[in-house]
């Protein structure tokens, strides 16, 4: 069904094909994502980056539910709460002497692109 919504930035009216169960807020979001005003275009880029990063996190941590949830919350902190850079450090004891360390860094650059880096290292745990 075709429904009417408006851009949340410039209030331009748009028509979209929408399911009956979509709320007006969801319809307005879709219209906003399609609007050509500069603010809506920036919003669309941010939403695309968020969706892409969430899919990456879901796939990268598919075998680790805790880290998947933690990294998803970290993504929200960067995308929604204005954090420019967040680091997550994960340490794991591989055997009685070897520690694996992974450092994940999420950075939002000036263009609104999210960058996720991962650095991995190993160290020995010795008793003296």
Q: Give the pLDDT confidence score for residue 46 in this predicted structure.
A: 85
125 pLDDT exceeds 90?
no
Supply the CATH classification number for the domain 64-128.
2.20.25
Lowest mean pLDDT among 1-5, 68-72, 91-95, 123-127: 123-127
Average predicted confidence (pLDDT) for the chain: 90
Q: Residue 128 pLDDT more than 60?
A: no
What are the extents of the domains in the chain?
A: 64-128
List, for residues 92-110, the tens digit of each pLDDT value.
899 888 999 999 999 888 7
What is the reported pLDDT for 98?
92
At 110, is the secondary structure helix, strand, or coil? coil
- Residue 118 per-residue DSSP state: E
| 33 CB neighbour count, 10 Å cutoff | 16
When mean pLDDT is compared across 8-17, 24-33, 116-125, the lowest value belongs to 116-125
What is the pLDDT averaged over residues 8-29? 95
- Alpha carbon distances (Å) from 86 to 66, 74, 89: 17, 7, 10
Q: 112: pLDDT confidence band, cut at 50, 70 and 90?
A: confident
| Helix, strand, coil fractions of the chain, as percent rounded to 5 | 40, 30, 30
Residues 76-91 pLDDT 10s: 888 887 778 899 999 9
Query: What does pTM read for this prediction?
Result: 0.72
Closest CA to 110 of 90, 84, 86: 84
How far is residue 43's CA from residue 32's CA, in Å, rounded to a whole number? 8
Q: For residue 126, what pLDDT is reported? A: 66
């Amino acid at each position: 069904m075709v429904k009417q919504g408006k851009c949340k930035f410039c209030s331009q009216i748009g028509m979209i094909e929408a399911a009956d169960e979509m709320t007006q807020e969801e319809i307005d979001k879709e219209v906003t994502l399609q609007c050509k005003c500069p603010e809506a275009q920036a919003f669309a880029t941010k939403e695309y980056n968020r969706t892409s990063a969430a899919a990456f996190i879901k796939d990268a941590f598919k075998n680790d539910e805790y880290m998947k949830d933690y990294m998803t919350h970290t993504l929200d902190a960067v995308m929604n709460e204005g954090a420019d850079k967040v680091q997550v450090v994960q340490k794991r004891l591989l055997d009685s002497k070897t520690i694996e360390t992974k450092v994940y860094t999420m950075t939002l650059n000036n263009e609104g692109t999210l960058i996720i880096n991962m650095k991995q290292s190993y160290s020995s745990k010795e008793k003296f």
